[in-house]
A = this chain, B = another copy of it.
Amino acid sequence: MAAPETLSTSAPAETAPRRRGRPRKAAGEGSARRDALIAVAAQHFRSKGFDATTMRDIAAASGMQSGSPFYHFKSKNDLLCAVMEQGMERALDGQRQALVRLPEGADAAVRLQALVLHHLRVLLAPGHDFVAVMLYEQRALARPERLRITALKDRYEVAWKRELELLQAQARLRAPASTLRLMLFGAVHGALSWYDRKQALSLAQLAAQITQVFVLDAPTP
């Protein structure tokens, strides 16, 4: 919710008296304007699709003129790529935090449920359009960019693999871990297309149900 920036370091773009020094990397990676464009683009790409969104849409929604986004991104595809990368990096951060919050020695099913819940939030919480765009618009990427995104996705899946293999070793999966993981992602991603119609269900409840379906209870010896 709250902006992660501290008060001291980042440039106060609007209120501060115009400093004469060149703005530190005005169009660089950390620019606030650039980040705003990414966020606006994510919303539009998600709700209307990549092809159906024009750079003019994004510029107007960001209070810019039609040619100005090209000062920050050299092409529309570049902007798409930035949306996906930022989405995956935030998702990776959030995933780490979700796991850290768990008690030591938690059951693998509990850890998996935390991963599922975090992932549902990444997909469905307001303002988190990045990863959904990634899932729907991979086709628009050229080979080299797709490889970069895939590498991020692979890192994201490491934690899932770990828990699922533990569960498999406990004989609590009813299919091989690798196939079951793909089914599990499918089931979670599917929520993108139906979740709002089931408002009776909280994301936490849904995460619990999904885990319940995919993982058998621990044998009580």
A189 at the interface (CB under 8 A from B): yes
Smallest Cβ distance from A71 to chain B, in angstroms? 26
**With A189-B190, A190-B189, A190-B190 in contact, is A213–B183 under 8 Å at CB?**
yes
Within 8 A of B (CB), among A177-211: 179-180, 182-191, 194, 198, 201, 206, 209-210
| Max chain B C-beta neighbours (<10 A), residue from A174, A183, A209, A214 | A183
A212 at the interface (CB under 8 A from B): yes
A143 at the interface (CB under 8 A from B): no
Smallest Cβ distance from A163 to chain B, in angstroms? 16
Within 8 A of B (CB), among A25-40: none
- Bound complex: CA A191 to CA B206 (Å): 21
A52 at the interface (CB under 8 A from B): yes
**With A186-B191, A187-B187 in contact, is A209–B48 under 8 Å at CB?**
no
A139 at the interface (CB under 8 A from B): yes
Shortest Cβ distance from A209 into B: residue:
B175
Within 8 A of B (CB), among A77-128: none
**With A52-B51, A174-B212, A213-B214 in contact, is A190–B179 under 8 Å at CB?**
no
Which residues of B sit under 8 angstroms from A210, Cβ to Cβ? Answer: 175, 183
- Bound complex: CA A171 to CA B43 (Å): 42
A23 at the interface (CB under 8 A from B): no
| B190/A185 in contact, CB under 8 A | yes
Which residues of B sit under 8 angstroms from A209, Cβ to Cβ? Answer: 175-176, 179-180, 183
Which residues of B sit under 8 angstroms from A175, Cβ to Cβ? Answer: 209-210, 212-213
Shortest Cβ distance from A198 into B: residue:
B179
Which residues of B sit under 8 angstroms from A188, Cβ to Cβ? Answer: 186
Within 8 A of B (CB), among A46-96: 48-49, 51-52
Top 3 A-B pairs ranked by shortest CB distance?
Answer: A186-B190, A51-B51, A183-B187
What are 5 of the A-B contact pairs (CB < 8 Å)?
A48-B139, A49-B140, A182-B190, A182-B191, A187-B190
